[in-house]
Amino acid sequence: MKRLSTLALIAGAACLDFGVAGTALAAPSCDGAIQLGSVSTITGPVDFSDGPKGAKAVFDQINEAGGINGCKIEYTMADDKGDPQVAAQAARDLIDNKNVVALGGGASLLDCAVNAGTYKRNDVMSVQGVGVDPMCFNAPTIAPVNVGPYTLTTAMLDYASKELKDEKLCTFFIVLGGTQEAYAQAVKRWEEMSGKKIHLVDMTLPLQGDLTPYLIKARDAGCDAVLTNQVEPGVVQMINTADAQKIEGIDWVFLASGYTEGVAKALPNTKQPVYLGTEWEPYTETNEANADWMATMEKAGLPKTAFSQGGYLAAKVLADMIASMDGPVTRERLGAKLLEGKPMKYSIAGSEYVFGDAAKHAPMQATKVMALSEGKWVPKSSGWYVLPAAN
Amino acid sequence: MNSLLTSAVAGLSAGGAYAILGVCAIFNYRLVAVVNFTGAAIGAAGTFVMVALYEAGFPLAVDVVAGVAAGALAATLIGLVMTTWFAGSSASTKAAVTAALLVGIIAVGLRLTGGQHPHNFPEIVAGSAFRLAGVEVTRASVLTIAISVLFTVLTEMFLARTRMGLQLRALSQRPMAAELIGIRVKLLALCVWAVMGAVTSFALMVIAPLRSPDFMSISLLVVPALAAALIGAFTSFRAALVGGLMIGVIEGLASGLDAFSQYRGAIPFVVILAVLLWSQRGARWDEAR
């Protein structure tokens, strides 16, 4: 009994100690609400709104609980409509009129490409939710929380070579905008890492059109694995065409852009081996790592998609960064804090997130590999497939 | 050489699709004098009705019939717009109207069908017909080519041999005169639209499983289809049929040749240019002389 009360005393003292230290350590202060925002493609050719909505859900939850040390967050979701001019205007509005202290949680086709210069000139840091274009991974003031198609290309080539034991690796890319060089770089990185040579690189895959000639080309070139950056409908088309051509013995490898339940459901009967790499903890899995994200989305009444994981994670990063600050939360001070480059660990991602002071950022270097099985995506292993750090 | 043949055969399945849509485009132009940009989109609407019913668990035969009917209905509605408000307009105005309608249909279609999210298209004709030069020629491609040939032959015979065919020709060339001599212009025109919608819907249902399964990609098949129709100078069904197949085969060849494959998308335009230059050569030379 005596021992128990001693324990209780120690525990109580520890709590007290922690509490005191907690308040003394860091306390952000604010004058009015903290302004945050993002530029995303919401209407237009694609709807990426799940990204910023996921971020907003996190901030709403924080505000409901009283804010960060009493500071409420006001989050503005701007829509770039997939249009460069609108994207540029949206960024200026956020920076000049809304006076955002940082950007985060955005998911856009072209925000980085259009606005990287603006962000740099205004010293605005952007924690991109889902970075798509190459500029997202090549700018000093942008650091996405997703792995991105280029790093994933390298990772999946490595996976096919090491884990699937494929010898002849072939790649077919749809090239949009300035992505050709980024994909070429990604393939080159794998070649340098592995000391192997890519068997075939084709940068002419059409966005629309018949894929039969390309699949025949891959087959006749003797490819063991074919990696492409197809988006959802393209993945389905490719596998259906492979089935129609009775192609066997090729591992079909895709990037996160093919990872949706729609794709799995549209391919219920195929026997083709289909793999892809995810950006984060697979969103189709209900597990510990996804628990907080799932609860947040459920509370906000949002669908659970991979994009919302990106928005969620970016918002967590920003909120935690702000919470660790001492004193007023301004653009300069939050920017400086991000540039310090303190690694941040979240269960939903395989790498530690680091912003840091660098000319370009691609902190996320880990993926989980999923395989298609009877109309469902199934994890290949419980662990992360991690690339050695980018140089 | 063999690999060239392989690439050419690989382009056949696309060629069949272009051919049938090209023939339908000429059907539309010759009978109701409209260069129709919405052809493939109408077919896509029918196809997606079929998919929606299929996903809801109805038997495939019902889905197909309903899809074809929906395609015919969609086409009739567009026909109604065209005949009611634009009957007297010039060909270029009508073409512009259908182009505008295409943009609208794609926007609405993408919303209703869940954007880029793919659907599970049932195979109406499954399996492969035969193997040629190492390529499986699917039953679907054979069927599309067969439909285009059949449609071409039937339409030509219908126009040349039947009274209704004669009336239709009158309708497209002198709609006002046709009306004055008592031809029921509007009804006939709507029938033409409905037939076009039904045929396009069925053809697209057959080829959809091997295409990118979203509304926009299928609707945009109209571009190579109009190229095929242009090869037929919007008059010859046969030339459009052959032209459509040819564009597919040339595309296939181009993707087999590394030097050309990045210009693959431009092929329909190069073909059109070549055909136009060739077909207009007489006029030019005559003028020069």
The tens digit of pLDDT for each residue in A237-289 reads: 999 999 989 999 999 999 998 898 888 988 988 999 999 999 999 998 899 99
Whether residue A92 is found in the same domain as residue A124: yes
CA distance B288 to chain A (A): 41
Q: Does A303 share its domain with A292?
A: yes
Chain CA centroid to CA A302, Å: 18
Cβ of A204 and B210 within 8 Å?
Answer: no
Going across the sheet that includes A376-379, the strands are: A200-202, A169-172, A225-228, A251-254, A274-277, A369-373, A376-379
Q: Which two tokens stand for residue A305?
A: 């998609």
Residue A21 has pLDDT above 80, yes or no: no
HEC per residue, chain A: CHHHHHHHHHHHHHHHHHHHHHHHHCCEECCCCEEEEEEECCCCCCCCCHHHHHHHHHHHHHHHCCCECCECEEEEEEECCCCHHHHHHHHHHHHHHCCCCEEECCECCCHHHHHHHHHHHCCCCEECCECCCHHHHCCCCECCCCCHHHHHHHHHHHHHHHCCCCCCEEEECCCCCCHHHHHHHHHHHHHHHHCCCCCEEECCCCCCCCCHHHHHHHHHCCCCEEEECCCHHHHHHHHHHHHHCCCCCCEEEECHHHCCHHHHHHCCCCCCCEEEECCCCCCCCCCCCCHHHHHHHHHHCCCCCHHHHHHHHHHHHHHHHHHCCCEECCHHHHHHHHHHCCCECCCCCCCCECCCCCCCCCCCCEECEEEEECCEEEECCCCCEECCCCC
Query: Please, which pLDDT band fits residue B212 given cuts at 50, 70 and 90?
Result: confident
- Whether B46 and chain A come into contact, CB under 8 Å, resolves to no
Q: How far is B8 from chain A (nearest CA, A)?
A: 8
Interchain CB contacts (distance < 8 Å): A and B:
106
β-bridge pairing A376-379 and A102-104: unpaired
* Structural domain range at position A68: 28-146+285-360
Q: Which residues pair with A130 in a beta bridge?
A: A107
Judged by phi (left if over 0) then psi (alpha if -120 to 50, else beta), residue A166 lies in beta
Alpha-carbon gap: B11 to the closest alpha carbon of chain A (Å): 6
The pLDDT tens digits for B75-119 are 999 999 998 898 778 888 999 999 999 999 998 888 888 777 788
Range B151-176 average pLDDT? 86
pLDDT of A320: 94
ipTM confidence? 0.81
**Are B211 and A246 an interchain contact pair (Cβ–Cβ within 8 Å)?**
no
Q: Tokens 């060909």 belong to which residue?
A: B91
Q: CA-nearest residue of chain A to B15?
A: A210
Q: Say which amino acid occupies A196.
A: K
Q: Which residue has the tokens 């939050």?
A: A334
**For residue A283, which amino acid is it?**
Y
Cβ neighbors of B65 (< 8 A, separation 6 or more) are none
Note whether A124 and A187 are same-domain residues.
no
Domain with A211 in it: what CATH number?
3.40.50.2300
Query: Which residues in A have their CB inside 8 Å of a CB on B?
Result: 46-47, 202-204, 206-214, 216-217, 220, 231-237, 240-241, 244-246, 260, 262-263, 265-268
Residues A129 and A189 in one domain: no
Could B7 and A216 be called an inter-chain contact, meaning their C-beta atoms sit closer than 8 Å?
A: yes
Contact A216 B134 (CB under 8 A): yes
Alpha-carbon distance of B98 to B106, in angstroms, equals: 12
CA B47 to chain centre: 14
Residue A20 lies in a domain: no
In-domain check, residue A12: no
pLDDT the model gives residue B62: 92
A350 neighbors A279 (Cβ within 8 angstroms)? no
Answer whether B134 touches A (CB < 8 Å).
yes
Give A212 to chain B, closest Cα distance, Å.
6
Q: Which of A210, A211, A214, A274 to mutate to test the interface with B (most CBs of B within 10 A)?
A: A210
Contact state of B212 with A233 under an 8 Å Cβ cutoff: yes
CB atoms inside a 10 Å sphere around CB A10: 10
* Site from B121, B125, B143, B255 to mutate, A interface, most A CB atoms within 10 angstroms: B255
CA nearest neighbour of A252 among A233, A269, A268, A239: A239
Residues of B in contact with A214 (CB under 8 A): 255
Cβ of A210 within 8 Å of Cβ of B210? The answer is: yes
Q: Which residue has the tokens 């019913």?
A: B53
Of A213, A236, A246, the CB nearest to B256: A213
- What are the extents of the domains in chain B? 2-288
Please identify which residue in the block is written with the tokens 């694609």: A46
- Nearest-Cα distance to chain B for A294, in Å, is 22
d(CA A107, CA A84): 14
Q: Is B12 helix (H, G, I), strand (E, B) or coil?
A: helix
The answer, yes or no, to whether residue A17 has pLDDT greater than 60, is: no
pLDDT value at position A19?
Answer: 41
Residues A273 and A156 placed together within one structural domain of the fold: yes
Name the one residue in this structure whose structure tokens are 């991000």.
A338
Query: Is the same domain home to A178 and A57?
Result: no
Query: A157 exposed, middle or buried (CB, 10 Å; 0-12, 13-18, 19+)?
Result: buried
Task: Find the CB nearest A213 among B10, B120, B217.
Answer: B10
CA distances from A196 to A223, B41, B175 (A): 15, 46, 69
pLDDT at B271 exceeding the cut of 80: no
Chain B contact set for A268 (CB, 8 A):
120
* A19 assigned to some structural domain: no
Q: Considering only alpha carbons, which residue of chain A is nearest residue B106? A: A45
pTM over 0.90: no
Q: What Å distances lie between residue A126 and A115, A122, B276, CA to CA? A: 10, 11, 52
Task: Assess B106–A contact: CB distance below 8 Å, yes or no.
Answer: no
Q: Assess whether A234 and A263 both reside in one domain.
A: yes
Instruction: Give the model confidence (pLDDT) of A207-231 as tens digits.
Output: 778 888 899 989 999 999 999 998 8
Does A233 sit within 8 Å of B118, measured CB to CB?
yes
Q: Which residue has the tokens 């007489």?
A: B282
Q: How many CA atoms lie within 13 A of A32 on its CB side?
A: 8
* Set of chain A residues whose Cβ sits within 8 Å of the Cβ of B134: 216, 220
Which whole-number Å values give the CA distances from A359 to A262, A280, A329, A331, A391, in the listed order? 38, 24, 24, 19, 12
- The residue ranking higher by pLDDT, A189 or B87, is A189
Nearest chain A CA: its distance from B257 CA (Å): 10
pLDDT at residue number B89? 83
* Share above pLDDT 70 across residues of chain B, in percent, rounded to a whole number: 96
Q: Which CATH class is domain B2-288?
A: mainly alpha
Chain A residue numbers touching B214 (CB-CB < 8 A): 232-233
Task: Give which of B25, B31, B58 is closest to B43, Cα–Cα.
Answer: B25
Whether A153 is in a domain gets the answer: yes
Q: Give the span between the Cα atoms of A361 and A137, in whole angstroms.
A: 5
Tell me which H or E stretch contains B166.
helix B163-173
Q: Which residue of B has its CA nearest to A204?
A: B262
> Looking at the structure, do residues A140 and A61 belong to the same domain, yes or no?
yes
β-partners of residue A29 are A328
- Judge whether A21 lies within some domain: no
Tally of domains within chain A: 2
- Do residue A142 and residue A157 come from a single domain? no
Please return the burial class of A295, using the count of CB atoms within 10 Å of its CB with bins 0-12, 13-18 and 19+.
Answer: exposed
Within-domain flag for A197: yes
pLDDT at residue A4, rounded to an integer? 47
- Give the tokens for residue B40: 């493939």
- Please give the Cα distance from B43 to B205 (Å, whole number): 8
Do A159 and A258 sit in the same domain of this protein? yes
State how far the alpha carbon of A317 is from the alpha carbons of A59, A304, A387, B228, in Å: 11, 19, 22, 54
pLDDT of residue B21: 93
Asked if the Cβ–Cβ distance from B264 to A237 is below 8 Å, we say no
**Is residue A274 included in any domain, yes or no?**
yes
Q: What percent of chain A has pLDDT over 90?
A: 71
Residue of B nearest to A270 (CA): B120
Report the alpha-carbon angle B208-B209-B213, nearest 5: 70
DSSP-derived 3-state class of residue B170: helix
Out of B117, B210, B220, the one facing A237 most closely (by C-beta) is: B210
Q: Are strands A126-127 and A366-367 parallel, antiparallel or unpaired?
A: unpaired
Assess contact for B202 and B147: CB atoms under 8 A: yes
Give domain status of residue A3, yes or no. Answer: no
Looking at residues B213-223, what average pLDDT do you find?
Answer: 86
What's the Cα-to-Cα distance from A322 to each of A77, A383, B39, B255, rounded to whole Å?
Answer: 19, 31, 55, 52
User: Could you tell me if A257 and A125 lie in one domain?
Assistant: no
Supply the pLDDT for residue A140.
Answer: 93
Residue with tokens 């929906």: B70
- Find the radius of gyration of the CA atoms of chain B: 19
In A, which residues are within 8 Å of B210 by CB distance? 210-212, 237, 240-241, 244
From B13, B121, B134, residue closest to A210, measured CB to CB: B13
Collapse the DSSP code of B132 into the 3-class scheme (helix H, G, I; strand E, B; otherwise coil) and give the result: strand
The answer, yes or no, to whether residue B224 has pLDDT greater than 80, is: yes
Nearest-by-Cβ selection for B261 from A204, A245, A266: A204
Q: CB distance A204–B248 less than 8 Å?
A: no
* Shortest Cα distance, chain A CAs vs residue B265, angstroms: 8
Taking only the tens place, the pLDDT of each residue in A125-135 is 999 999 989 99
- CB-CB neighbors (< 8 A) of B117 in chain A: 232-233, 260, 262
Both A186 and A316 in one domain: the answer is no
